[in-house]
Structure 1
Amino acid sequence: MDGETSKKILIVDDNKDSRDLTVKVLKRLGYQIIEAVDGEEALTRAFQDKPDLILMDRSLPKIDGLEVTRRLKTNAATQHIIILALTAHAMRGDKEKAIAAGCQGYIVKPIDVRKLPDEVKAHLEGERGSVHGGEKD
């Protein structure tokens, strides 16, 4: 077993197709996958399961992803969890809003299935500078 198999990833996305694709890509690499479909479930799963990393959709039912991120980052029990925004919001300023809420990365949907594993691995290994997608500089 390699290092990824011990890492837990919470995928928070209300879009079943998008969530299923992300699960498929990461599960194949041996990550333990947890799923949530709305903000309330995301909070519950984060506190119960203590994932190493969360892929957080921004637009969620009940509580939006940025608010979930803020709540997790202000709680001592969950503030250490790496959170990557996983979103279709790619307008100017959206990346900055996600970072301000506490996200360490920003991945634009539709996900690039070739880049996602490297993005996740880089963040789990502490190489935080590899945000892809979004607006062009």
Structure 2
Amino acid sequence: MARMLGYIGVHCEWKTSGYEVVEYADTLPRVDLILMDIRLPYEDGYEALRKIRASETLKHIRVVAVTAYASEEQLQRARAAGFDGFVGKPLDPDRFPEQVRRMLAGEQVWELQ
């Protein structure tokens, strides 16, 4: 994922748990987008999203769910939870950079693949 984003000039940081995502994002002066797996150890993407939305400094950040467990049910659950988009894995290297460009432009992307 980071390599694909690097090709389009997007800086990417990789974190392994929802807790790390929230803690790290809170230290940065600017975050444009969080692509977050909904199945993370210790604290899943849904719990991390709740913390992001509750934070005065983070609540404005666009957060998109990314998951290998892509289904219409998971997409609807992510939408109901307050995610700003959904992308199923495996990521398509031909489509993913354009999906991210659209997200950064403010478009909501809801795609199972």
Pair in the same fold by TM > 0.5: yes
Identity %: 32
2:96 to 111, 116, 128: 116
1:93 to 66, 70, 73: 73
The superposition leaves residues 33-76 of structure 1 with CA deviations (integer Å, 9 ceiling, x where unpaired) of 11111111111111112421011001101100111012101212
The superposition leaves residues 4-26 of structure 1 with CA deviations (integer Å, 9 ceiling, x where unpaired) of xxxxxxxxxxxxxxxxxx00000
Aligned: 1:30 with 2:28: no
Q: Is the 8 A contact 2:70 2:88 kept in 1?
A: yes
1:106 corresponds to: 86
Give the whole-Å Cα distance in 1 for the aligned partners of 2:105 and 2:66. 19
Q: Is the 8 A contact 2:75 2:110 kept in 1?
A: no
SS of the aligned residue for 2:99 comes to: helix
1:67 to 14, 32, 47: 47
Give the whole-Å Cα distance in 2 for the aligned partners of 1:133 and 1:42. 23
Shift of 1:87: 0.3
Aligned-residue RMSD, C-alpha = 1.4
Aligned: 1:43 with 2:22: yes
Shift of 1:112: 0.8
Residue segments in structure 1 that go unaligned for 5+ positions in a row:
1-21
Give the whole-Å Cα distance in 2 for the aligned partners of 1:133 and 1:93. 10
How many residue pairs are counted as aligned between the two chains? Answer: 112
The two structures have a TM-score, normalised by structure 1, of 0.76
Structure 1 segments of 4+ aligned residues over 2 angstroms from their partners: none
